[in-house]
Amino acid sequence: MAERAIEEYRVAEEPYYLAVGSEVDLFEAAHSARLPVILKGPTGCGKTRFVEHMAWRLERPLITVACHEDLSATDLVGRFLLEGEETVWHDGPLTSAVRNGAICYLDEVVEARKDTVVIIHPLTDHRRRLPIEKRGTVLEAPPDFMLVVSYNPGYQSILKDLKQSTRQRFVAIDFDYPPPEMETEIVAREGGIDEGTARDLVLIGEKVRNLRGHGLEEGVSTRLLIYAAQLISLGIPPVTAADVAMCSPITDDRELQRSIREIVTTVI
Amino acid sequence: MVADHENEEDPTTPDSDSDERLRETLARERQSLLGLTRGMARLPLEQTAIALEASASIAGISLRASAEFLRAVPAAAQVLAPPELRSWGELGRRIAMSDVEAAIRFFGSGASELKGIPERSRAVVFQLCLRQLTLSASTATNTFKSLPALVESIDDAEMLLLVLEVAAEISRRSAKHSTDFLQAAPRVTNSLKQFSDESVSKGGLALASAFAARAGGIASDAWAALPDAVAGLNGQNALRLLTTTNDFLARGGGAALHVLQAGGEILRRFPQLFEDWVDLLWIVAEHGNASLVAFVRSTPRFIRGLSAEANRSQAGKVAPRVLALTKKIARLDGEAALSCFRSSGRVLRTVSIEQFEDWAERGLSDIRIEPRARRSYFALETRGSYEALHTGGQGLPLEAVQYLLKLYVEGLTGREVEVAPLTAVPAESRIGDGRTIHLPTFVNEFRDEDLDFRLYKVLAAHAAGQIEFGTYSQGTHELRAAFSAIAATYDPKTLDARDAFALDGYINVRDEGETVHSSPELAGHAAQLPTSGDYRNVLHLFPYSQLARRVFGTLENGRIDRRLRRQYRGLVRDLDLIREHLRNGRPRIIDLPANMAPFELLFQIALLGGALDDSREYYRQVVSELETIVAEYLLSPDATVADTLMATSRVYSLFQSITPANEALEQLETEEKQAETEDENMMASESLRSRREQTPERRDARELFNAWNAPNAEGEPDELAGAEAWSEGETPEQTLEAGEVAYNYDEWDRELTDHRLGWCRVIEKKVRRGERTFVEQTRERHKGVISSIRHQFQLMKPEDLTRVANELDGEDYDLNAVVDYVIDRRADGHQSERLYTKRLRRRRDVAVSFLLDQSSSTARTIGRHPLQPYTHPGRRIIEIEKEGLVLMSEALEAVGDVYSINGFTSEGRRNVKFYIVKDFDEKYTDEVRRRIGGITYQNNTRLGAAIRHATTRLTKQEARTRLLIVLSDGRPYDHDYGDARYAREDTREALTQAKALGITPFCITIDRESEAELRDLYGDIGYTIIDDVLSLPERLPGIYRRLTT
């Protein structure tokens, strides 16, 4: 895995983020207190954007890891690689973040195997250390280092769940789709459209979210609303944009798709 | 003859009282005898001769009777002609044969009864009475006595004679019936005389006579039925009816009687259909009397169905076509025609006549269909025929869009709803459940699928709007205000009658002498909206609540319409489309009867965006008032259901003031009420809904909007028109207990090669809790086995990880591969980069459902096996199976798979009992253990239905591997489950369906004989036979392990 210079991870411009509650203050407080944070919420409601925003705010580099089934401890911590005649140690993203006092963001942490996730335990208690077993060293985290993880409590299967021993190390901030007025503002700004259209999109989103559990696993995320808005701003007719961004992606079930389309044509 | 003349006028007084009396009696005797002779002397010679002769023969039986006879002769001779005198005497003599006193009384009362009877009739009378004597003397004498009254009421000599003749004819076969006949005679002849045309009376009598000749006693039933049959008909039609009935007498009295009754109905309501109907009957008669009678008996219901149509003229046009169709079918097959005829009412509520004809044609033209299948087709029992009916024609069936609309409404409102067609024939449905929206079964307004769908969408959006905009809101502030205001407006008596609504208790203010509605607060005391009261409570306050309901319905639809338009921009297009369509279809206002016009106006203003021009022209004043009311109450963006109620009150008053009298409204009310009770009474045994309970398809689309508002629509359980209409007197349904839920399933009929819709009813029942001891004993008995099972199954758990080598990436190096790599590098050869090893998880994702046959065949005991000394002798199969389940549960708990244990028995197709011993998400608790202990055996094995239900439950589990394990001791059997082959085919079909849904069925059985069948049903590897039943418990976990690894 090639390393990028840590500087490349800095967030240069302010990412747009509209605070819904007191999450900004909470995060800052956690950072000062050197507490790890877990962001809980459905997909596409602004968690990643929030982390970016906070990284910019706190002026720390941000290293993101997208977690998945096959993610191993080695992937996180680092490995020796054969290069030419030598074996060279390469830092994993976690190690890199610790070393440089950056914010390490593990996105969708439940997707990773449990035996991988326990790697982070030493970092999340008062010791704040990362043992690198292969090298036989231990890395101490500087005060600026912060561990942030996110996950979606929506689809809970018994197999994929955070163990209590992991959960209880974090401070949790709950995320959800913003309330309609705020969501309208976000969609309008990010999507580049007028408020009226944004309001319509948000209304559609609200209705489709009602179907959650009645056929849909998850409702329409704010992200998808923004996609739709972006398409509209580029001249795509609203109904098509809604179809493409809000109807097809979330389900393959024909009936469900059709009923969402009918909802779309009811609103716009 | 007695001669004792000496003491005739002896005035000597006797000594004692008794002597006195005796002497008096004798004196009387003598006197009478004297008088007798004197009297006799006065008679003409012929009479005397006859009298003497007759008295002689009477004397042979009883002297006293004879004396009495002689005494009466002079008077009688005044009335009777000589031959009559003889008959009269003869009659008395016959009476005397059984009852002397009666004979004496008979003679004593004289022949005055016969006075009024014209001479010609007298002979008949005697004949009649003589015949009646065979039943009883009193019958005859009563008839005799009733003669004067009869004469008086039948004021016509001719008719009287005919009546008597018929009675005499009837009496030949049955005295009782002849009495009935005579008793009914006054009433019947009166009703016949109502007709100015005399031939009706004659016809009636001729008919009775023919009946009597042909069919005996039933003639009196026919006679008694005449008045009702001809009631309301004109002379000509009455005659037609009589003639037709006469014709059908050739087919038997019973048939003719029914024809009389049903024919009368038809002539009253749909006279134009009579000819066709009679033709049809003759064609049906070819197939036998039973068919004919069945047909005629179904006719009243058919007629009622037609009359229930709001649009009579429409019904009048449709009915001949139905009859023509039925005729066509009847030429081929009487029973099929009967089925068609019977289902026509129901069918026509949901499809157009063209579709119906199409469907019938298809049924007829399919030549390879054999009689039984054809009958089922026309009775609409099978899935195939049902589909053919609905998809054949134009129009969009609800089925195609039902789920879609359900999701749509759930999306708009966030609430869970069910969408039900207005006539439901479900494949799997809950009985007595949830909040439902009713939509028409098909829509054919535009003859274009797209546009028809948009109508559905609008209807669904309206229903969603009702939920979203608070039509059903309860106990709100505004509702309370509306309630009070309306309560105050109407009669205190009404308030009194509505006491029931004042749940909070109230002070009786009426004592104060003031009217209750003098101020809102006082009114508030007397009647308040209950805490969870809704619009219905308020509507009950109106004196004519049905009227108020109709007004409310339209107004509320208007309010919802406006809110929808404001909220959903996109929907406006569809609303406008429908509105346009409706506007174009409205009838002219002057064509409507006066009492319908106000509703039409209201409809136009509330929903169609304003009155049409002609309406405005003719009813300017009313239109402007309505518009004002609507504007005042319904236009505001925050208008609530309370506002609609207030508006209802205003419109209600307005209607009352403009309709000619309250009569028109009353008429409406009573008509509706009548229809209600009439239909209720007559359709008690049917599952068809009456007009009031359901608003069926109308050519008038307006009615589509009012389905939610039908008066009895609240809390109606779903109808099962398909299955129940057929089952007339088959295995009776057992009632559900509290908390039980029933489901309907189809069944496969191999002869029809189609499914019978909703044929079986599966009831989920609670298992009786047994003793825990059973489980404990089992565990004790199989201790060793259990621990080894536990061990084995724990090894199967997903925590196992295997190492996989030769990966491109992984946690560790594979040393061998690394060595190879280095060597290869040195040698400049091909280097593989697969140097790593990985640890992969082996996943287990299994859900299993056990289905245990609990039929009585499991009560069979198995003898003691010599090699297993610890088992008791003679254990039942069911006990052994239960043991197996206990061991299985232990195993499953150890491995952690999701499982469910169920049992089933059946008692006929409507009583398939499905016992859930352990549900999927239940823990293996004490409760479950008790239930296992409580499993017992009874009844039969309707395997098909049980498999279907188990499948339905299993499909709801999300595991990748889904197993259905059937534990059976033999073949499927139930008393209405056809022959063995039928049962097997149905079971096979159920299994096929299960497989199609991703479920793997597996059968474990102890029946050695059934190997071939099992292979047939489950496939080569889909079953296992356990030869030694006693080993079942221990083998079960092993089998399971093999299946799921």
Could you say which DSSP state residue A33 is in? Answer: T
What is the residue-wise DSSP string for B185-233?
HHHHHHHHHTSSSHHHHHHHHHHHHHHHHHHTTHHHHHHHHHHHHHTT-
Phi and psi at B261, nearest 5°, equal: -70, -50
Rounded distance between C-alpha atoms, residue B39 and residue B28, angstroms: 15
**One-letter amino acid of B972:** P
Q: What's the distance, CA B1001 to chain centroid?
A: 37
**Chain B closest CA to A50's CA: distance in Å?**
29
Task: Look at residue A105 and give its three-state secondary structure.
Answer: strand
Task: Look at residue B396 and give its three-state secondary structure.
Answer: strand
Q: Output the CA torsion B897→B901→B902→B903 (10° steps).
A: 140
Which residue of chain A is at minimal alpha-carbon distance from B845?
A159
Give B-chain residues touching A255 at CB under 8 angstroms.
403-404, 407
**Model pLDDT, residue A202:** 93
CB contact set of B484 (below 8 Å; sequence gap of 6+): B520, B523, B524, B527, B528, B529
Q: Does residue B571 sit at the A interface (CB-CB below 8 Å)?
A: yes
Q: Does residue A241 sit at the B interface (CB-CB below 8 Å)?
A: no
Closest by Cα among B713, B764, B730, B701 to B904? B764
Contact A152, A177 (CB under 8 A): no
Which residue of chain B is at minimal alpha-carbon distance from A208?
B411
Q: Does residue B407 sit at the A interface (CB-CB below 8 Å)?
A: yes
What is the residue-wise DSSP string for B670-703?
HHHHHHHHHHHHHTTTS-PPPTTT-----SSGGG
CA B262 to each of CA A20, B271, B321, B346: distance values in angstroms, whole numbers, following the listed order: 76, 12, 19, 20
**Chain B closest CA to A152's CA: distance in Å?**
19
Rounded distance between C-alpha atoms, residue B337 and residue B330, angstroms: 5
**Model pLDDT, residue A63:** 93
Q: Does residue B891 sit at the A interface (CB-CB below 8 Å)?
A: no
Q: Output the CA torsion B147→B150→B155→B156 (10° steps).
A: -70
B325-347 pLDDT, tens digit each? 888 888 877 788 888 888 787 77
Rounded distance between C-alpha atoms, residue B796 and residue B1043, angstroms: 12
Q: How confident is the model at residue A214 (pLDDT cuts 50, 70, 90)?
A: low
Q: Does residue A268 sit at the B interface (CB-CB below 8 Å)?
A: yes
Task: Look at residue B389 and give its three-state secondary structure.
Answer: helix
Q: How confident is the model at residue A155 (pLDDT cuts 50, 70, 90)?
A: low
What percent of chain B has pLDDT above 70? Answer: 77
Contact A224, A249 (CB under 8 A): yes
Q: Does residue B956 sit at the A interface (CB-CB below 8 Å)?
A: no
The average pLDDT across A246-250 equals 89
Tell me the torsion sign for CA atoms B620, B621, B625, B628. Answer: positive
Contact B764, B875 (CB under 8 A): no
B408: nearest CB among A73, A159, A262? A262
B619-678 pLDDT, tens digit each? 888 888 888 888 888 888 888 888 889 998 888 888 877 764 444 444 444 444 443 443
* ∠ CA B776-B778-B779, rounded to 5°: 65
Task: Look at residue B744 and give its three-state secondary structure.
Answer: strand
B407: nearest CB among A72, A259, A266? A259
Q: How confident is the model at residue A183 (pLDDT cuts 50, 70, 90)?
A: very high
Contact B802, B837 (CB under 8 A): no
Contact B557, B565 (CB under 8 A): no
Buried b vs exposed e over B337-372: b needs ≥16 C-beta within 10 Å? bbbbbbbbbbbbbbbbbebbbbbbeebbeeeebeee
Is pLDDT at B533 greater than 60 in this prediction?
Answer: yes
Q: Does residue B841 sit at the A interface (CB-CB below 8 Å)?
A: yes
Interface probe with B: pick from A76, A262, A267, most Cβ of B within 10 Å: A262
Rounded distance between C-alpha atoms, residue B186 and residue B147, angstroms: 11
**Model pLDDT, residue B16:** 59
Contact B502, B509 (CB under 8 A): no
Q: Does residue A86 sit at the B interface (CB-CB below 8 Å)?
A: no
Structure-block tokens of residue B522: 């006082």
Is pLDDT at B818 greater than 70 in this prediction?
Answer: yes
CB contact set of B1034 (below 8 Å; sequence gap of 6+): B782, B785, B887
Is pLDDT at B721 greater than 50 in this prediction?
Answer: no
A267 with B569: Cβ contact below 8 A:
yes
Is pLDDT at A50 greater than 90 in this prediction?
Answer: yes
Is pLDDT at A60 greater than 80 in this prediction?
Answer: yes
Phi and psi at B112, nearest 5°, equal: -65, -25
The average pLDDT across B277-289 equals 84
Which of left, alpha, beta for B366 (phi over 0: left; psi -120 to 50: alpha)?
Answer: beta
Interface probe with A: pick from B396, B406, B407, most Cβ of A within 10 Å: B407
Rounded distance between C-alpha atoms, residue B863 and residue B780, angstroms: 21
Tell me the torsion sign for CA atoms B362, B368, B369, B371. Answer: positive
Tell me the torsion sign for CA atoms B95, B96, B101, B106. Answer: positive
**One-letter amino acid of B363:** G
B35-44 pLDDT, tens digit each? 666 666 677 7
**One-letter amino acid of B278:** V
Give B-chain residues touching A268 at CB under 8 angstroms.
569-570
Contact B86, B50 (CB under 8 A): yes
**Chain B closest CA to A159's CA: distance in Å?**
10
Which residue of chain A is at minimal alpha-carbon distance from B898?
A158
B411 with A208: Cβ contact below 8 A:
yes
Is pLDDT at B770 greater than 90 in this prediction?
Answer: no
Give B-chain residues touching A72 at CB under 8 angstroms.
810-811, 838
Q: Does residue A240 sit at the B interface (CB-CB below 8 Å)?
A: no
**One-letter amino acid of B185:** A
B570 with A268: Cβ contact below 8 A:
yes
Q: How confident is the model at residue B801 (pLDDT cuts 50, 70, 90)?
A: low
**Chain B closest CA to A115's CA: distance in Å?**
11
Closest by Cα among B170, B196, B198, B173 to B184? B170
Q: How confident is the model at residue B551 (pLDDT cuts 50, 70, 90)?
A: confident
Rounded distance between C-alpha atoms, residue B986 and residue B997, angstroms: 17
Helix axes B926-933, B877-895, angle to 10 degrees: 160
Q: Does residue A207 sit at the B interface (CB-CB below 8 Å)?
A: yes
Which residue of chain A is at minimal alpha-carbon distance from B575?
A266
CB pairs under 8 A between A and B: 64
ipTM here: 0.76
Q: Output the CA torsion B166→B167→B170→B173 (10° steps).
A: -150
Interface probe with B: pick from A207, A259, A264, most Cβ of B within 10 Å: A259
CA B788 to each of CA B778, B830, B1037: distance values in angstroms, whole numbers, following the listed order: 15, 51, 11
Structure-block tokens of residue B707: 């389905």
Q: How confident is the model at residue A264 (pLDDT cuts 50, 70, 90)?
A: very high
Q: How confident is the model at residue B725 (pLDDT cuts 50, 70, 90)?
A: very low
Structure-block tokens of residue B434: 């949830």
CA B904 to each of CA A126, B728, B851, B944, B986: distance values in angstroms, whole numbers, following the listed order: 59, 26, 7, 11, 16
Rounded distance between C-alpha atoms, residue B936 and residue A173, angstroms: 54
The neighbour count for residue B826, using CB atoms within 10 Å, is 8
CA B306 to each of CA B336, B349, B360, B407: distance values in angstroms, whole numbers, following the listed order: 20, 10, 19, 36
**Model pLDDT, residue A228:** 93
Is pLDDT at B461 greater than 70 in this prediction?
Answer: yes
Span of A256-265, B259-268, B789-798 with lowest mean pLDDT: B789-798
Q: Does residue B569 sit at the A interface (CB-CB below 8 Å)?
A: yes
* ∠ CA B602-B605-B606, rounded to 5°: 80
What percent of chain B has pLDDT above 90? Answer: 3
Q: Does residue A73 sit at the B interface (CB-CB below 8 Å)?
A: yes
The neighbour count for residue B690, using CB atoms within 10 Å, is 20
Structure-block tokens of residue B480: 């309370």
Q: Does residue B847 sit at the A interface (CB-CB below 8 Å)?
A: no
B408 with A208: Cβ contact below 8 A:
no
**Model pLDDT, residue B521:** 41
Structure-block tokens of residue B846: 């299994």
Closest by Cα among B468, B350, B356, B454 to B409? B468
Give B-chain residues touching A74 at CB under 8 angstroms.
811
A107-132 pLDDT, tens digit each? 988 888 777 888 889 998 888 999 98
B358-390 pLDDT, tens digit each? 788 877 777 666 777 777 778 777 766 776 676
Give B-chain residues touching A214 at CB under 8 angstroms.
407, 410-411, 416
Contact B178, B208 (CB under 8 A): no
B5-26 pLDDT, tens digit each? 444 444 444 455 667 776 676 6
Q: How confident is the model at residue A39 (pLDDT cuts 50, 70, 90)?
A: very high
Q: Does residue B920 sit at the A interface (CB-CB below 8 Å)?
A: no
Is pLDDT at B68 greater than 60 in this prediction?
Answer: yes
Rounded distance between C-alpha atoms, residue A105 and residue A115, angstroms: 18
Q: Does residue A83 sit at the B interface (CB-CB below 8 Å)?
A: no
**Chain A closest CA to B954's CA: distance in Å?**
18
Rounded distance between C-alpha atoms, residue B1031 and residue B1034, angstroms: 6
Phi and psi at B844, nearest 5°, equal: -120, 125
Which residue of chain A is at minimal alpha-carbon distance from B568?
A267
Rounded distance between C-alpha atoms, residue B938 and residue B931, angstroms: 16
B404 with A211: Cβ contact below 8 A:
no
Contact A151, A109 (CB under 8 A): yes
Task: Look at residue A84 and give its three-state secondary structure.
Answer: coil
**Model pLDDT, residue B705:** 66
Is pLDDT at B730 greater than 60 in this prediction?
Answer: no
Is pLDDT at B3 greater than 50 in this prediction?
Answer: no
Rounded distance between C-alpha atoms, residue B502 and residue B490, angstroms: 16
B411: nearest CB among A159, A210, A265? A210
Beta bridge partners of B875: B862
